[in-house]
Amino acid sequence: MNSKNKGFNTICTHVGEIEDKQFKGAISPIYLSTSYAFEDVDIKRYPRYFNTPNQEALCKKIAQLEKGEASLIFGSGMAAISTALLAFLQKGDHIVLQRTLYGGTANLVNEEFSKYGIEYSFVDNQDVNGFEEKIKENTKVIYIETPSNPLLTITDIKAISVLAKKKGIVTMIDNTFASPVNQNPIELGIDVVIHSATKYLGGHSDILAGAVVSSEENMEQIFHLAKNLGGSLSDFTVWMLERSIKTLGLRVKQQNKNAKKMAKWLEKHDDIQAVYYPGLKSHPDYQLAKSQMKGFGGMLSFELKEGLDASKFQKELRLIKSSMSLAGVESTILSPTLTSHALLTEEERKHQGINNGLLRFSVGIEETEDLIIDIEQALHKIKILELEQ
Protein backbone atom coordinates (compact mmCIF):
# COMPACT_ATOMS: atom_id res chain seq x y z
CA MET A 1 0.00 0.00 0.00
CA ASN A 2 1.49 3.24 -1.11
CA SER A 3 -1.07 5.86 -1.98
CA LYS A 4 -0.84 9.38 -0.57
CA ASN A 5 -3.24 11.05 1.84
CA LYS A 6 -3.93 8.11 4.11
CA GLY A 7 -4.60 8.88 7.76
CA PHE A 8 -1.67 8.98 10.20
CA ASN A 9 -2.22 5.62 11.89
CA THR A 10 -2.88 3.95 8.52
CA ILE A 11 0.47 5.24 7.24
CA CYS A 12 2.11 3.98 10.45
CA THR A 13 0.60 0.54 10.07
CA HIS A 14 0.74 -0.06 6.33
CA VAL A 15 2.65 2.30 4.05
CA GLY A 16 5.75 0.70 2.58
CA GLU A 17 4.97 -2.79 3.87
CA ILE A 18 6.60 -5.56 1.87
CA GLU A 19 4.10 -8.15 0.74
CA ASP A 20 5.00 -11.71 1.75
CA LYS A 21 4.11 -13.30 -1.56
CA GLN A 22 5.56 -16.66 -0.62
CA PHE A 23 3.72 -17.40 2.62
CA LYS A 24 1.20 -14.57 2.82
CA GLY A 25 2.40 -13.59 6.30
CA ALA A 26 0.87 -10.49 7.90
CA ILE A 27 4.10 -8.52 8.30
CA SER A 28 7.00 -7.52 6.08
CA PRO A 29 9.62 -10.23 5.64
CA ILE A 30 13.15 -9.23 6.61
CA TYR A 31 15.92 -9.36 3.99
CA LEU A 32 19.35 -9.54 5.59
CA SER A 33 21.40 -10.09 2.41
CA THR A 34 24.40 -7.85 1.98
CA SER A 35 24.84 -9.18 -1.53
CA TYR A 36 22.28 -9.02 -4.34
CA ALA A 37 22.53 -10.02 -8.00
CA PHE A 38 22.44 -7.00 -10.34
CA GLU A 39 18.90 -6.35 -11.52
CA ASP A 40 20.26 -4.10 -14.24
CA VAL A 41 23.14 -1.68 -14.47
CA ASP A 42 21.24 1.04 -12.58
CA ILE A 43 20.11 -0.95 -9.53
CA LYS A 44 22.93 -2.26 -7.40
CA ARG A 45 21.47 -3.26 -4.07
CA TYR A 46 23.82 -2.96 -1.13
CA PRO A 47 23.04 -1.95 2.49
CA ARG A 48 25.42 1.02 2.45
CA TYR A 49 23.68 2.34 -0.66
CA PHE A 50 20.53 2.63 1.49
CA ASN A 51 18.55 0.54 -1.02
CA THR A 52 17.87 -2.90 0.44
CA PRO A 53 14.20 -3.95 0.33
CA ASN A 54 13.61 -3.21 4.02
CA GLN A 55 15.36 0.17 3.89
CA GLU A 56 13.45 1.32 0.82
CA ALA A 57 10.15 0.17 2.30
CA LEU A 58 10.63 1.96 5.62
CA CYS A 59 11.82 5.15 3.91
CA LYS A 60 8.43 5.38 2.17
CA LYS A 61 6.65 5.22 5.51
CA ILE A 62 8.86 7.84 7.19
CA ALA A 63 8.68 10.21 4.20
CA GLN A 64 4.88 10.10 4.27
CA LEU A 65 4.71 10.60 8.02
CA GLU A 66 6.69 13.82 7.62
CA LYS A 67 4.89 14.84 4.39
CA GLY A 68 8.14 14.83 2.43
CA GLU A 69 8.97 13.33 -0.95
CA ALA A 70 11.79 11.04 0.15
CA SER A 71 13.77 9.92 3.19
CA LEU A 72 16.85 7.98 4.29
CA ILE A 73 17.37 5.99 7.48
CA PHE A 74 20.71 6.11 9.32
CA GLY A 75 22.61 4.17 11.96
CA SER A 76 21.97 6.88 14.58
CA GLY A 77 20.41 10.30 14.97
CA MET A 78 23.90 11.83 14.90
CA ALA A 79 24.70 10.01 11.62
CA ALA A 80 21.55 11.58 10.16
CA ILE A 81 22.42 15.05 11.53
CA SER A 82 26.09 15.04 10.52
CA THR A 83 25.36 13.72 7.04
CA ALA A 84 22.55 16.20 6.39
CA LEU A 85 24.64 19.14 7.59
CA LEU A 86 27.79 18.23 5.70
CA ALA A 87 25.82 17.53 2.52
CA PHE A 88 24.92 21.24 2.38
CA LEU A 89 28.07 22.82 3.80
CA GLN A 90 31.58 23.08 2.50
CA LYS A 91 34.77 25.01 3.17
CA GLY A 92 34.07 28.74 3.39
CA ASP A 93 30.33 28.30 4.10
CA HIS A 94 28.55 29.60 7.18
CA ILE A 95 25.71 28.11 9.25
CA VAL A 96 23.39 29.77 11.78
CA LEU A 97 22.16 27.54 14.62
CA GLN A 98 20.06 28.15 17.70
CA ARG A 99 22.07 27.92 20.92
CA THR A 100 19.86 25.43 22.76
CA LEU A 101 20.67 22.29 20.80
CA TYR A 102 20.97 18.60 21.48
CA GLY A 103 24.41 18.16 23.10
CA GLY A 104 25.75 15.88 20.36
CA THR A 105 24.84 18.39 17.66
CA ALA A 106 26.50 21.24 19.56
CA ASN A 107 29.62 19.07 20.00
CA LEU A 108 29.70 18.20 16.30
CA VAL A 109 29.69 21.90 15.39
CA ASN A 110 32.07 23.07 18.13
CA GLU A 111 34.57 20.24 17.84
CA GLU A 112 34.58 19.42 14.12
CA PHE A 113 33.42 22.27 11.90
CA SER A 114 36.57 24.44 12.16
CA LYS A 115 38.57 21.48 10.84
CA TYR A 116 36.54 21.63 7.63
CA GLY A 117 36.67 25.42 7.38
CA ILE A 118 32.94 25.80 8.05
CA GLU A 119 32.00 28.96 9.97
CA TYR A 120 29.16 28.94 12.46
CA SER A 121 27.15 31.33 14.64
CA PHE A 122 24.84 30.48 17.51
CA VAL A 123 21.68 32.48 18.15
CA ASP A 124 20.87 33.39 21.73
CA ASN A 125 17.73 35.35 21.12
CA GLN A 126 15.53 32.69 19.61
CA ASP A 127 13.12 35.00 17.78
CA VAL A 128 13.42 35.47 14.07
CA ASN A 129 15.38 38.74 14.42
CA GLY A 130 18.04 36.86 16.35
CA PHE A 131 18.53 34.57 13.35
CA GLU A 132 18.41 37.38 10.80
CA GLU A 133 21.15 39.31 12.61
CA LYS A 134 23.55 36.36 12.28
CA ILE A 135 23.04 35.76 8.55
CA LYS A 136 26.08 36.57 6.39
CA GLU A 137 26.87 36.54 2.66
CA ASN A 138 28.11 32.95 2.90
CA THR A 139 25.32 31.55 5.10
CA LYS A 140 24.06 28.33 3.52
CA VAL A 141 22.08 26.63 6.29
CA ILE A 142 19.86 27.61 9.24
CA TYR A 143 19.44 24.86 11.81
CA ILE A 144 16.76 24.78 14.52
CA GLU A 145 15.43 22.36 17.13
CA THR A 146 11.96 22.81 18.59
CA PRO A 147 10.79 22.03 21.24
CA SER A 148 14.31 22.30 22.61
CA ASN A 149 16.14 20.25 25.20
CA PRO A 150 15.75 20.53 28.19
CA LEU A 151 13.64 23.68 28.69
CA LEU A 152 11.18 23.03 25.86
CA THR A 153 11.56 26.46 24.30
CA ILE A 154 9.78 26.92 20.99
CA THR A 155 11.28 28.37 17.80
CA ASP A 156 8.95 29.94 15.22
CA ILE A 157 9.25 27.44 12.36
CA LYS A 158 7.29 29.41 9.78
CA ALA A 159 9.10 32.69 10.47
CA ILE A 160 12.47 30.95 10.08
CA SER A 161 11.51 29.28 6.83
CA VAL A 162 10.15 32.55 5.37
CA LEU A 163 13.35 34.37 6.33
CA ALA A 164 15.54 31.63 4.85
CA LYS A 165 13.57 31.34 1.59
CA LYS A 166 13.97 35.07 1.00
CA LYS A 167 17.74 34.62 1.13
CA GLY A 168 18.00 31.23 -0.58
CA ILE A 169 19.22 29.49 2.59
CA VAL A 170 18.46 25.81 3.32
CA THR A 171 16.54 25.21 6.58
CA MET A 172 16.95 22.13 8.76
CA ILE A 173 15.09 21.10 11.87
CA ASP A 174 15.68 18.44 14.49
CA ASN A 175 12.09 17.27 14.96
CA THR A 176 12.93 14.53 17.46
CA PHE A 177 11.17 15.96 20.52
CA ALA A 178 7.90 16.64 18.70
CA SER A 179 7.83 13.50 16.52
CA PRO A 180 5.78 13.50 13.30
CA VAL A 181 2.66 13.03 15.41
CA ASN A 182 2.89 16.55 16.84
CA GLN A 183 4.72 18.59 14.24
CA ASN A 184 5.30 18.42 10.48
CA PRO A 185 7.83 21.16 9.68
CA ILE A 186 7.79 20.55 5.90
CA GLU A 187 4.19 21.83 5.90
CA LEU A 188 5.55 25.00 7.53
CA GLY A 189 8.18 25.49 4.83
CA ILE A 190 11.23 23.73 6.31
CA ASP A 191 13.49 21.99 3.77
CA VAL A 192 15.08 19.16 5.75
CA VAL A 193 13.57 17.32 8.73
CA ILE A 194 15.80 15.16 10.93
CA HIS A 195 14.93 12.62 13.62
CA SER A 196 16.81 10.63 16.15
CA ALA A 197 14.68 7.52 15.58
CA THR A 198 16.23 6.25 18.81
CA LYS A 199 13.54 8.33 20.52
CA TYR A 200 9.82 8.45 19.59
CA LEU A 201 10.03 6.64 16.23
CA GLY A 202 11.63 3.67 18.00
CA GLY A 203 9.83 4.29 21.25
CA HIS A 204 10.88 1.16 23.16
CA SER A 205 14.44 2.08 24.17
CA ASP A 206 15.89 -0.74 22.08
CA ILE A 207 16.82 0.85 18.73
CA LEU A 208 19.55 3.33 17.75
CA ALA A 209 18.66 4.99 14.44
CA GLY A 210 18.16 8.26 12.62
CA ALA A 211 16.12 9.57 9.70
CA VAL A 212 16.18 12.50 7.28
CA VAL A 213 13.18 13.62 5.20
CA SER A 214 13.16 16.18 2.40
CA SER A 215 12.47 16.70 -1.32
CA GLU A 216 13.72 14.16 -3.89
CA GLU A 217 16.34 16.68 -5.00
CA ASN A 218 17.70 17.39 -1.51
CA MET A 219 17.68 13.69 -0.59
CA GLU A 220 19.72 12.94 -3.72
CA GLN A 221 22.36 15.42 -2.49
CA ILE A 222 22.31 13.89 1.01
CA PHE A 223 22.52 10.36 -0.41
CA HIS A 224 25.68 11.20 -2.35
CA LEU A 225 27.50 12.02 0.88
CA ALA A 226 25.71 9.35 2.92
CA LYS A 227 27.02 6.44 0.84
CA ASN A 228 30.55 7.79 1.22
CA LEU A 229 30.29 8.34 4.96
CA GLY A 230 28.71 4.92 5.40
CA GLY A 231 26.24 5.55 8.21
CA SER A 232 23.47 3.19 7.09
CA LEU A 233 21.35 1.12 9.47
CA SER A 234 21.41 -2.69 9.64
CA ASP A 235 18.38 -4.30 8.05
CA PHE A 236 17.46 -6.11 11.22
CA THR A 237 17.15 -2.79 13.02
CA VAL A 238 15.32 -1.31 10.04
CA TRP A 239 12.76 -4.08 10.41
CA MET A 240 12.46 -3.46 14.16
CA LEU A 241 11.93 0.23 13.48
CA GLU A 242 9.17 -0.56 11.00
CA ARG A 243 7.47 -2.64 13.69
CA SER A 244 7.87 0.16 16.25
CA ILE A 245 6.43 2.88 14.02
CA LYS A 246 3.18 0.93 13.65
CA THR A 247 2.24 2.13 17.15
CA LEU A 248 3.86 5.59 16.90
CA GLY A 249 0.54 7.46 16.79
CA LEU A 250 -0.96 5.49 19.69
CA ARG A 251 2.10 5.84 21.88
CA VAL A 252 2.76 9.53 21.34
CA LYS A 253 -0.88 10.56 21.72
CA GLN A 254 -0.94 8.81 25.08
CA GLN A 255 2.37 10.47 26.01
CA ASN A 256 0.95 13.88 25.02
CA LYS A 257 -2.03 13.29 27.29
CA ASN A 258 0.05 12.02 30.18
CA ALA A 259 2.63 14.81 29.95
CA LYS A 260 -0.07 17.49 29.96
CA LYS A 261 -1.70 15.91 33.03
CA MET A 262 1.63 15.61 34.83
CA ALA A 263 2.64 19.17 33.93
CA LYS A 264 -0.64 20.56 35.30
CA TRP A 265 -0.34 18.48 38.45
CA LEU A 266 3.29 19.45 39.04
CA GLU A 267 2.53 23.13 38.44
CA LYS A 268 0.02 23.12 41.33
CA HIS A 269 2.29 21.17 43.69
CA ASP A 270 3.72 23.04 46.70
CA ASP A 271 7.10 21.30 46.45
CA ILE A 272 7.65 22.26 42.81
CA GLN A 273 9.33 25.56 41.92
CA ALA A 274 8.83 25.62 38.16
CA VAL A 275 7.46 23.49 35.33
CA TYR A 276 8.51 23.82 31.69
CA TYR A 277 5.96 22.37 29.25
CA PRO A 278 4.84 24.08 26.04
CA GLY A 279 1.27 22.91 26.65
CA LEU A 280 0.95 24.96 29.85
CA LYS A 281 -0.61 28.40 29.49
CA SER A 282 2.15 29.67 31.79
CA HIS A 283 4.84 28.65 29.26
CA PRO A 284 6.16 31.81 27.53
CA ASP A 285 5.88 30.14 24.10
CA TYR A 286 2.45 28.56 24.64
CA GLN A 287 0.70 30.49 21.84
CA LEU A 288 3.48 29.80 19.36
CA ALA A 289 3.52 26.11 20.29
CA LYS A 290 -0.24 25.97 19.81
CA SER A 291 0.04 27.54 16.37
CA GLN A 292 2.62 25.11 14.99
CA MET A 293 2.12 21.86 16.94
CA LYS A 294 -0.76 19.36 16.84
CA GLY A 295 0.08 18.12 20.34
CA PHE A 296 2.57 19.35 22.92
CA GLY A 297 4.64 16.19 23.25
CA GLY A 298 5.71 13.88 26.04
CA MET A 299 8.71 15.85 27.34
CA LEU A 300 8.70 18.29 30.26
CA SER A 301 11.13 19.65 32.82
CA PHE A 302 10.65 20.81 36.39
CA GLU A 303 12.53 22.18 39.38
CA LEU A 304 11.98 21.24 43.01
CA LYS A 305 11.51 23.99 45.63
CA GLU A 306 14.69 25.29 47.16
CA GLY A 307 16.02 23.04 49.90
CA LEU A 308 14.81 19.85 48.22
CA ASP A 309 17.66 17.86 46.70
CA ALA A 310 16.95 16.83 43.10
CA SER A 311 19.45 13.99 43.00
CA LYS A 312 18.15 12.49 46.27
CA PHE A 313 14.62 12.82 44.87
CA GLN A 314 15.67 11.01 41.71
CA LYS A 315 17.14 8.14 43.74
CA GLU A 316 13.90 7.68 45.70
CA LEU A 317 11.73 7.22 42.61
CA ARG A 318 10.61 3.61 42.19
CA LEU A 319 8.54 3.51 39.00
CA ILE A 320 10.13 6.38 37.08
CA LYS A 321 13.62 5.31 36.03
CA SER A 322 16.77 7.41 35.87
CA SER A 323 17.88 7.24 32.27
CA MET A 324 20.09 9.10 29.83
CA SER A 325 17.73 8.60 26.91
CA LEU A 326 14.10 9.54 26.41
CA ALA A 327 10.85 8.94 24.56
CA GLY A 328 10.37 5.29 25.46
CA VAL A 329 7.00 3.88 26.57
CA GLU A 330 8.44 3.90 30.12
CA SER A 331 8.76 7.15 32.06
CA THR A 332 12.34 8.27 32.67
CA ILE A 333 14.02 11.19 34.36
CA LEU A 334 17.46 12.81 34.33
CA SER A 335 19.37 15.77 35.67
CA PRO A 336 20.69 17.77 32.68
CA THR A 337 23.42 19.28 34.88
CA LEU A 338 24.83 15.86 35.73
CA THR A 339 24.32 14.19 32.34
CA SER A 340 23.26 15.68 29.00
CA HIS A 341 24.63 19.18 29.74
CA ALA A 342 27.50 18.18 32.05
CA LEU A 343 30.09 19.29 29.49
CA LEU A 344 28.87 22.90 29.62
CA THR A 345 30.36 25.20 32.23
CA GLU A 346 28.16 26.33 35.13
CA GLU A 347 28.06 29.75 33.48
CA GLU A 348 26.97 28.38 30.10
CA ARG A 349 24.21 26.39 31.79
CA LYS A 350 23.02 29.46 33.70
CA HIS A 351 23.06 31.39 30.42
CA GLN A 352 20.71 28.77 28.95
CA GLY A 353 18.50 28.79 32.07
CA ILE A 354 19.47 25.29 33.20
CA ASN A 355 19.57 25.30 37.01
CA ASN A 356 21.27 22.55 39.00
CA GLY A 357 17.94 21.37 40.43
CA LEU A 358 16.33 20.96 37.02
CA LEU A 359 14.94 17.53 36.13
CA ARG A 360 13.98 16.45 32.61
CA PHE A 361 11.01 14.13 32.63
CA SER A 362 10.23 11.89 29.64
CA VAL A 363 6.64 10.86 30.28
CA GLY A 364 5.74 7.32 29.26
CA ILE A 365 2.44 5.57 28.64
CA GLU A 366 1.84 4.41 32.22
CA GLU A 367 -1.27 5.48 34.15
CA THR A 368 -0.66 9.01 35.46
CA GLU A 369 -2.13 8.00 38.85
CA ASP A 370 0.84 5.66 39.32
CA LEU A 371 3.36 8.30 38.24
CA ILE A 372 1.82 10.74 40.74
CA ILE A 373 2.00 8.19 43.57
CA ASP A 374 5.67 7.59 42.72
CA ILE A 375 6.57 11.29 42.78
CA GLU A 376 4.61 11.88 46.00
CA GLN A 377 6.36 9.03 47.83
CA ALA A 378 9.79 10.25 46.66
CA LEU A 379 9.06 13.82 47.80
CA HIS A 380 7.80 12.50 51.13
CA LYS A 381 11.00 10.49 51.67
CA ILE A 382 13.39 13.34 50.89
CA LYS A 383 11.45 15.69 53.16
CA ILE A 384 11.77 13.20 56.03
CA LEU A 385 15.51 12.94 55.26
CA GLU A 386 15.80 16.75 55.44
CA LEU A 387 14.01 16.79 58.82
CA GLU A 388 16.26 14.07 60.24
CA GLN A 389 19.41 16.02 59.38
Ligand X SMILES: *Cc1c(COP(=O)(O)O)cnc(C)c1O
Shorter beta-carbon distance to ligand X: residue 76 or 368: 76
Exactly one of 156, 174, 191, 285 binds ligand X (CB under 6 A); that residue is 174
CA distances from 51 to 32, 39, 68, 146, 227 (A): 12, 13, 18, 30, 10
Please report how close the Cβ of residue 102 comes to ligand X at its closest, in angstroms: 4
Q: Is 83 in the site for ligand X (CB under 6 A)?
A: no
- CA 296, 380, 268, 271: dihedral to nearest 10 degrees? -100
Applying CB under 6 A, which part among 22-30, 42-50, 192-200, 252-260 lies near ligand X? 192-200
Please report how close the Cβ of residue 255 comes to ligand X at its closest, in angstroms.
Answer: 14
Identify whether 48 is a catalytic site residue: yes
| 198/272 with CB nearer ligand X | 198
Q: HSE on the CB side for 129, CA within 13 Å?
A: 1
Task: Indicate whether 323 belongs to the interface with ligand X (CB under 6 A).
Answer: no
Of 149 and 237, nearer to ligand X (C-beta) is 149
Measured in residues, the chain has a length of 389
Whether omega for the bond prior to residue 29 falls within 30 degrees of 0, making it cis, is: no
Q: Does 78 bind ligand X (CB under 6 A)?
A: yes
Give which of 286, 314, 296, 313 is closest to 383, Cα–Cα: 313
Q: In whole angstroms, what separates CA 233 from the centre of its chain?
A: 17
Exactly one of 45, 61, 102, 200 is catalytic; which is it?
102
Q: Tell me, yes or no, if 143 is annotated catalytic.
A: no
Least separation in angstroms between CB 340 and ligand X = 9
The residue annotated as part of the active site, out of 199, 253, 260, 360, is 199
Among 13, 49, 60, 104, binds ligand X (CB under 6 A): 104
Q: Is 208 in the site for ligand X (CB under 6 A)?
A: yes
Secondary structure of residue 178 in the 3-state scheme: coil
Q: Which of 147, 150, 210, 249 binds ligand X (CB under 6 A)?
A: 210
Q: In the complex, what is the shortest distance from the CB of residue 79 to ligand X, in angstroms, rounded to a whole number?
A: 7
Q: Is 177 in the site for ligand X (CB under 6 A)?
A: yes
Catalytically annotated residue among 93, 174, 235, 285: 174
Binding ligand X by CB under 6 A: which of 45, 94, 134, 199? 199
Identify the sign of the CA torsion 96, 99, 103, 108: positive
317-340 b/e (C-beta count within 10 Å ≥ 16 → b): beebbeeeebbbbebbbbbbbeeb
CA atoms of 234 and 34, how far apart (whole Å): 10
Residue nearest to ligand X (CB): 77
CA pair distance 322, 195, nearest whole angstrom: 23
Nearest distance, CB of residue 316 and ligand X, angstroms: 26
Question: Can you spell out the DSSP letters for 263-330?
Answer: HHHHHH-TTEEEEE-TTSTTSTTHHHHHHH-SS--SEEEEEEPTTS-HHHHHHH-SSSEE-S---SSS
Concerning whether 199 is annotated as a catalytic residue, the answer is yes
Q: Which of 292, 364, 296 is nearest to 328 (CA)?
A: 364
When asked if residue 102 is in the footprint of ligand X (CB under 6 A), the reply is yes
DSSP 47: G
Give the x/- contact pattern for ligand X in 142-161, rule: CB under 6 A: ---x---x------------
Residues with a catalytic annotation lie at: 48, 102, 174, 199
Footprint on this chain of ligand X (rule: CB under 6 A): 76-78, 102, 104, 145, 149, 174, 176-177, 196, 198-199, 208, 210
